[in-house]
Structures are given as C-alpha cells and as structure tokens.
Amino acid sequence: MDFSARYVALGDSFTEGLGDADPALPNQVRGWADRTAEQLALAHPEESWGYANLAIRGKKMNQILAEQIDAAVAMNPTLVTIYAGINDILRPKVDIDAMIAKYSDGLGKLAATGARLLVFTGYDASSSKVFASIRGRTAVYNELVREVAESHGAALVDYWRFREYNDWRLWGIDRMHMSTPGHINMANRVLEQLGEIVRIPLPDLPPIPVRTTAVTIKENAAWTKEYVGPWVSRRLRGVSSGDNLSARWPALQSPLA
C-alpha cells in the first residue's frame, strides 16, 4: 500500500510499549506510539497513514543505531520518534559524550530524510528509590540531547519536565515502565508537541492506597524479588529481556488496521 504519511517509532521498551498490556497485539503490549499513530490517522483522514514500530525492549544505543536507523530511513518516513540511551545509562559504566556523538550521527541520517523528528529527554527519576542514583547521569544526557536535537532541527519531548509522572499510578507494577494511563498521557504529550488538538481521554486513576509500614516493607520485598533481582541478574549476565523478540510492527501498515 502506498502511504502518504509514514510514522516510524524507534527505541527500546519505552517506545515498544511495556507496561501497557494487550495480549492481542505483537509482544502483548500496545503503548503510547501505537496510540499516537491511531490518533494521527483519525485526525487526518485525508491522508493515508502508515505506521511502523521498530522498538525492542532492552536495546542499547549502539543496537538501536545499527538495527533501526537504516530500516527507518528505507521507509521514507514523514515522522520519526526516537528514544535511546537510557539502557546505557543504567549500566555501571558509560561514556555519555561518546554515546551522544553516535546518537547525533543517527539523528542526522533521520533528519536528512526530511521527516519531522521528535527526540525525548530522559525521565527525572528523583522520586524512585532505585533509579534516583542515575539522576545526575540523566541530567548530563539530557543536556547533550537538547544540543544535538537543536542541531538537527528535531523537536524535543521533554520527559524530564513532566512532573505528573511523580504519581506512581502512571507507572506499572514493575515500577520501571509506564502503566496504561502513563502511556496514554505520553501519547497526549507527543500529540501536543506535534501541534495536534486531539487528546485521548485519561482513564480514572484508582485512589492512592493507604499502606502501613509493615505492608510497604512486604510489598517492596516482593517487588525486589520479582522485578529488581531478575533485572540486575540480566545485566550481570549481559543478556536482555528483548534478546529473543522482534520488532512489533516491522513494516508500514495502517494504524487503524
């Protein structure tokens, strides 16, 4: 099918859609990018929209650049979103300057297609007891991303400044990926950056539970065992939860299919 508008989403678990479960879809997730693509197609019926999502959970910067950039360029996109580098920041050692220099090269290839290009800053995890330690790294990463985004004429989705994500109801049970309401909110943020008027209604959030100290300790212990332990183990073994997965939508297709 010949699409007049072509949206390609690149990145890792953030863009793949982890936390927004949908057993009927590839990799059993939906996510903000799927939701954004659907709204764009609905808002602009005069255009024939094609959508591809090449993001795979656990991918680091070099993998995203090597596996997704050229594939996206080959689709002759009119819109590209990309979020990359946070999995690198979570590693014990990372050369952020060198990583962003490579990122800039990749963004240059995408910008050369003439597509609208949206780049994300990293989330300010100061409210997370586990990830607050990388706040300084993320701040450095973000400042460099701002520079390269500007140099390539890319728009910036400034996740760092989205304070609504301090509400843990926008996060999934693993406390690492956005929940369905979090993904819907992110889709609305992207639509806003694109200058679109349409917004997806947010579902009602459940009341914030009141927990005793004993219950909190028990829940934190269960969370550490179920999510943090395996996450640390994978990094120590040099493996990723996405090693055996393929891109959810590897070729352009209608987001309304």
CATH number for position 106: 3.40.50.1110
Does residue 250 lie in a domain region?
no
- Judge if 47 and 76 occupy the same domain: yes
Q: Give residue 257's pLDDT.
A: 78
pLDDT at residue number 233 = 58
- For residue 254, is it within any domain? no
Q: Are residues 213 and 153 in the same domain?
A: no
Please, where are the H alpha helices in 167-237?
A: 180-193, 213-223, 229-237
Answer yes or no: do 188 and 234 share one domain.
no
Q: Which domain holds residue 198?
A: 5-206
Tell me how far apart the alpha carbons of residues 170 and 186 are, in angstroms, rounded to a whole number. Answer: 10
What pLDDT shows up at residue 172? 85
Distance CA 186, CA 206 (A): 19
| Statement: the pTM of the whole predicted model exceeds 0.85 | yes
Q: What is the mean pLDDT of each run of 10 residues along the chain (257 residues)?
A: 94 97 96 98 97 97 98 98 95 95 98 98 86 91 98 98 94 88 98 98 85 63 60 59 85 94
Tell me if 99 is assigned to some domain: yes
Say how far apart CA 152 and CA 148 lie, in whole Å.
6
Q: Give how many domains the chain has, as a whole number.
A: 2
Give pLDDT, residue 90.
87
